[in-house]
Structure 1
């Protein structure tokens, strides 16, 4: 029990510091710290990450940052794909699943490291792939078929990764929204948190319907301490440089990824 409390607090703190991407550490924390297989760790991690994301999304709503139409479209596209991801997770051997997760973490860590070392200047032009531009008059995204397709595809990939690896999907949503829209970074993170909350909840139900059972007490304690840790992380983030947080998170992801590769290769 104590281990799950400590792990939840640490995952929550990282989630609070990094915004929408820290949930990727929830499954490795449970796999390594609790000795669970990934299939068992998935619903516990998703309950914690989805609950914490919901708290962050509510704060974003209060501040008027959430693009709820875009978030709902991504969620509607993503939730059905969580079932497919869960089925694939039960078919793939444990070592292969761990390797896939570790490689995903390495890709995310490498991208964050490059961004930290070569930050995008403030006021830089929007991506050439931007299809969802904010109307300066209404302050809303100007909807079009390309914009809808881009957001729906982002949601579908998020749902598949959520079901397969038990991650929130912020590492997919945030970079895709940065490429496909010109929404502010604060708005992107807030919108991503809403999508994570909705798709993560769908992933929890998908894993339960697939027959996965997780200990209720450990799940509740892990979720509660993750939420508390996230609150502490968000408070601490005001005093830390975003670049330093990103750099530190990239290093942590790399270390955890190599640990998972070792576990997959040697069963340690």
Structure 2
């Protein structure tokens, strides 16, 4: 029964990525930590591979539908994947197992990662629940690096630390700094997430033992999910889907925080 739940979760990871251009990794890490029992650092590495491969497949379909702004995507992807690689290869391994030890209070590396992950989920949920004005035209404007570069670095840092947080940080950036409409922003987001995630996973391959049998089977199911999500995207009410998933992510963030802080 647990195996069925895990692989059903893998399908929904791809489904959410296909529907929304982000959010798949928000399900991946909690699923791998709490259902499969993986160490948080390993779970974030598996998340990068699964989400990266699944996003690459979704990007291929969106490219043929002319829903990817390649130049804009590369402008964001190149600096952010450099930060992702550096974070996974050097920064994450440099964080001590016990970050804070003061009297009865201690903060371990695992707890820090999961709490940071919950914080990103909280920010993602608020961005989905907040009403935004979207750009409906097809014009692509030049990205102002002065404003965009700090956000790009933050995207890379968050993805590197927790294997997630890309989509809901990237999509607003593509809309407001890149001038893309929502459909193009979703497709371009998948393209950027694929590059960032797989680059980050390359850094992990040098430091983590990978259980390829499980990881590949989990990823294949997720790929089926993104094909289903890409197909269903044309039929769903995007605003209602966004708000519904926003509330789900908010509940998940509260669950992780209660689990890590008070052991609920």
Q: Is the structural similarity TM-score above 0.5?
A: yes
Aligned-partner Cα distance in 2 for 1:220–1:264: 29
Equivalent in the alignment of 1:166: 163
Deviation track 1:236-268 (CA, whole Å, cap 9, x = no partner) reads 333321111111111110111111112211345
Aligned-partner Cα distance in 1 for 2:204–2:22: 22
Could you state the TM-score of these two structures normalised by the residue count of structure 1? 0.83
Shift of 1:153: 4.0
Alignment partner of 1:176 is 2:178: no
Structure 1 unaligned runs (5+)? 125-132, 135-139
Change (3 A) 1:123 1:158: closer
Equivalent in the alignment of 1:107: 123
Alignment partner of 1:198 is 2:214: no
Change (3 A) 1:249 1:84: same
Alignment partner of 1:155 is 2:152: yes
Structure 2 unaligned runs (5+)? 100-108
**Which residue of 241, 250, 261 corresponds with 2:246?**
250
Equivalent in the alignment of 2:40: 38
**Aligned pair count?**
248
Deviation track 1:176-225 (CA, whole Å, cap 9, x = no partner) reads 1222122222111111111111111111011222x122311111011111
Change (3 A) 1:121 1:62: closer
Equivalent in the alignment of 1:73: 75
Could you state the TM-score of these two structures normalised by the residue count of structure 2? 0.84
2:68 aligned counterpart, secondary structure: coil
Alignment partner of 1:217 is 2:213: yes
Equivalent in the alignment of 1:97: 113
Aligned-partner Cα distance in 1 for 2:193–2:135: 27
Would the aligned equivalents of 1:52 and 1:226 in 2 still touch at CA under 8 Å? yes
Deviation track 1:13-34 (CA, whole Å, cap 9, x = no partner) reads 2222222333322112211211
Deviation track 1:165-184 (CA, whole Å, cap 9, x = no partner) reads 10160111101122212222
Would the aligned equivalents of 1:177 and 1:188 in 2 still touch at CA under 8 Å? yes
Equivalent in the alignment of 1:266: 262
Would the aligned equivalents of 1:50 and 1:200 in 2 still touch at CA under 8 Å? yes
Shift of 1:227: 0.8
Shift of 1:120: 2.8
Shift of 1:2: 4.0
Change (3 A) 1:218 1:111: same
Shift of 1:77: 0.3
Q: What is the RMSD of the two structures over their aligned residues, measured on CA atoms?
A: 2.4
Would the aligned equivalents of 1:49 and 1:168 in 2 still touch at CA under 8 Å? no
